[in-house]
Amino acid sequence: MEILFSLLALFAGCGVFIAGMNMMSSGLQNSAGAGMKKLLGSISGNRFAGVGIGATVTGIIQSSAATTVMAIGFVNAGIMTLFQATAIIMGANIGTTVTGLIVSLKSLNISLYASSFAFIGVMMTFISKEKVKQIGNVICGLGMVFIGLDIMGDAFDSQIMKDFFMSIFTAIKFPLLLIICGVLVTALIQSSSAVTGLIIIMVGSGALPIDNALFIVLGSNIGTCITAILASIGTSTNARRTAFIHLAFNLIGVVIFTTFIWIFKDFVVAAITSIPVAAEMQIAFFHLIFNVTTTLILLPFIKQLVGLAELVIHEKQVEEKLQLKYLDELLLKTPSIALAQAKKEIEYMASLAKENMNKSFNELKTRSGEFAEEIAKTERVIDFTNNALTKYLIELSSIMTGSEEKVIGSYFHVLNDLERIGDHAENFLEIAVQMKEEGLAFSPMALSDIETMYNNVAKMYDIAIMAFDNVKSADLSSLDALEEEVDELKKQLSANHFTRLSKGECRVELSAYYFSVLAGYERVADHLVNVAYSIISPTGDQKAL
């Protein structure tokens, strides 16, 4: 019965530890989102910078799995190369050792003080200020980590428990079996941090010999790759290659270290145990040495790792399917970065709508049908982006708060306006097609009027998109003036058309098409004003229908 209670305490402690790690990681990601965005935005082809960024981000958010999954998401979205992602992953493996070092602090008998952070953090979450709540989650999570460690440690106070585990590891002391044990346990709970914490506790309590612990730690580094592998399922070829590189990196490191430790086991154990710190910290230092050494060995061979991934995972010829250009479901794990990518997706949609506006104007002039297929294809992409991004933003808004939630609200308005602009461009094409079928063409004067309207709208488009990107850099007074000019132009050009009709200079059959084009451009102008002002007033009135 004693062994049963001890096992239950072990499982309970492990559960509290994992919950604390997740809370701390989530809080750190939310509170440090802007910093991570800035760091990841500075990624270049420099492998050393990539390693540094990967280590820093992982050290901040306390999760190598989250950093790796983010890298896969970026590669899948086409905003990070395999080379860059490989350097990030190497850095993430170094950054994750911070967790082991935190866990090893238990040996300093500070658990009681650190555990009190859970209460302090919970109290902070009752404060209305969002930033304080996020910091409270981090502090509470840290406290829960030490509470979990204490519960796990108490489970090994029983001599029966120690003897039980000692008998197990005596039976499977063969290095490869120990590595497999580390792989399976880590893959099962998908947290190398929890496994490392458990190993440190067991070594500290004397339930696990340090020579056996080294191989289990090595196995946990392979087991943690399961998270990235699962995340890469159903993604692009390069995203799956990123997951493969993560696995290959750890496999190579484990093979090198296993071979060395196996041959020079007594020397390695003596070297580690000679470090003048507690046994818990000795394991944490070994974990750090493993990841730093593996990175130093493989850093010069990033291109070769990428080449290996390309050799193993071939590019499949699949039917082209519509997908978001800059966003990926995996990026929802880092909301602030996902929000920045959503903005890029909207700007891409705006460029597509503008492209169709330009082509539809050419169709009105020439009625050649040259751009008909391209306009239809681009409109399908616009409609898909609108629907897919709307769903994505709904999901993102559920994990956002405060000012960022208001920004998402403004994005919904912008998407609606851009989608309507795309519809107007398609309407202009339909007008050109119908006119051609009926053998009709605008007179040179009518075309000149339409071109005047179009040029003003094109100027407004540039200002509106500039305002969406950065309100401070946009001349909103010019936008308002152009919109008023478009409104006046519609009245003036309509009057001019009636004058031409009375003089017999235009055909009556063209009137409906002419007025439809003018009305269409006026509505496009209204939509562009909405786009420009949506960021300033997310809940403001929308002109366009």
> How would DSSP label each residue in 15-65?
HHHHHHHHHHHHHHHHHTHHHHHHHHHT--S-HHHHHHHHHHHHHHHT-HH
What's the CA angle centered on 386, arms 363 and 527, to 5 degrees?
Answer: 60
Kindly state the average pLDDT of the residues 505-514: 79
Residue 444 token pair: 């040179």
Return contacts of 499-502, CB within 8 angstroms, 24+ apart: 500/443, 500/445, 500/446
Give pLDDT tens digits for 370-381: 899 999 999 999
Reduced to 3 states (helix: H, G, I; strand: E, B; else coil), residue 302 is helix
Q: How far is CA 357 from the centre of its chain?
A: 31
Give pLDDT tens digits for 322-345: 788 888 787 787 777 788 889 989
Residue 211 token pair: 């020579």
Across 5-14, 104-113, 289-298, 482-491, least confident range = 104-113
Q: What is the pLDDT of residue 297?
A: 94
| DSSP letters for 95-125 | HTHHHHHHHHGGGGT-HHHHHTHHHHHHHHT
Give pLDDT tens digits for 215-255: 999 998 898 888 788 877 777 788 889 889 999 999 999 99
Question: Is the confidence at residue 298, as pLDDT, over 90?
Answer: yes
Please state, in angstroms and rounded to a whole number, the distance separating the CA atoms of residues 158 and 10.
12
Three-class SS of 155-198: HCCCHHHHHHHHHHHHHCCCHHHHHHHHHHHHHHHCCHHHHHHH
**pLDDT band at 541, cuts 50/70/90?**
very low
Q: What is the pLDDT of residue 41?
A: 57
| Residue 362: how many other CB atoms lie within 10 Å | 16
Each residue of 76-99: b (16+ CB within 10 Å) or e? Answer: bbebbbbbbbbbbbbbbbbbbbbb
**pLDDT band at 419, cuts 50/70/90?**
very high
Give pLDDT tens digits for 263-297: 888 898 899 888 888 888 888 899 899 999 999 99
**pLDDT band at 460, cuts 50/70/90?**
very high
Question: Is the confidence at residue 432, as pLDDT, over 50?
Answer: yes
Residue 498 token pair: 């009636």
**pLDDT band at 454, cuts 50/70/90?**
very high
Give pLDDT tens digits for 63-103: 677 778 778 777 876 667 888 889 988 988 888 888 777 77
**pLDDT band at 259, cuts 50/70/90?**
very high
Question: Is the confidence at residue 108, as pLDDT, over 80?
Answer: no
Phi-psi region of 44 (alpha: psi -120 to 50; beta: other; left: phi over 0): beta
Across 222-226, 230-234, 256-260, 455-459, least confident range = 230-234
Residue type, 317: Q
**pLDDT band at 544, cuts 50/70/90?**
very low
Residue type, 322: L
Q: What is the pLDDT of residue 29?
A: 64
Residue 506 token pair: 């235009």
Give pLDDT tens digits for 114-131: 678 788 888 888 887 777
- DSSP classification of residue 234: T
Please state, in angstroms and rounded to a whole number, the distance separating the CA atoms of residues 140 and 266.
41
**pLDDT band at 33, cuts 50/70/90?**
low
Return the closest-CA partner of residue 518 out of 435, 431, 434, 416.
431
Return the closest-CA partner of residue 224 out of 27, 21, 44.
21
Residue 258 token pair: 């296993």
Kindly state the average pLDDT of the residues 451-466: 92
Question: Is the confidence at residue 497, as pLDDT, over 80?
Answer: no
Q: What is the pLDDT of residue 42?
A: 61
Please state, in angstroms and rounded to a whole number, the distance separating the CA atoms of residues 432 and 413.
29
State if pTM tops 0.75: no
Across 43-47, 202-206, 354-358, least confident range = 43-47
Residue 315 token pair: 């590019």
**Sign of dihedral through CA atoms 339, 344, 347, 351?**
negative
Kindly state the average pLDDT of the residues 143-154: 78
Please state, in angstroms and rounded to a whole number, the distance separating the CA atoms of residues 338 and 60.
18
The CA–CA distances, whole Å, from 158 to 161, 205, 232 equal 5, 10, 43
Across 32-36, 197-201, 432-436, 522-526, least confident range = 32-36
Kindly state the average pLDDT of the residues 373-400: 91
Q: What is the pLDDT of residue 438?
A: 87
| DSSP letters for 237-290 | HHHHHHHHHHHHHHHHHHHHHHHHHHHTHHHHHHHHHTSSS-HHHHHHHHHHHH
Kindly state the average pLDDT of the residues 174-202: 83
Of the spans 65-74, 138-147, 533-542, which averages the highest pLDDT?
A: 138-147
Residue 154 token pair: 């108490």
**Sign of dihedral through CA atoms 248, 254, 257, 259?**
negative
Residue type, 286: F
- DSSP classification of residue 315: P
Reduced to 3 states (helix: H, G, I; strand: E, B; else coil), residue 373 is helix
Give pLDDT tens digits for 34-70: 566 566 656 666 788 888 888 887 776 666 777 787 7
CATH number of 329-534: 1.20.58.220
Domain ranges for the chain, please list them: 2-312, 329-534
Q: How many helices (H) and strands (E) does the chain have?
A: 24, 0
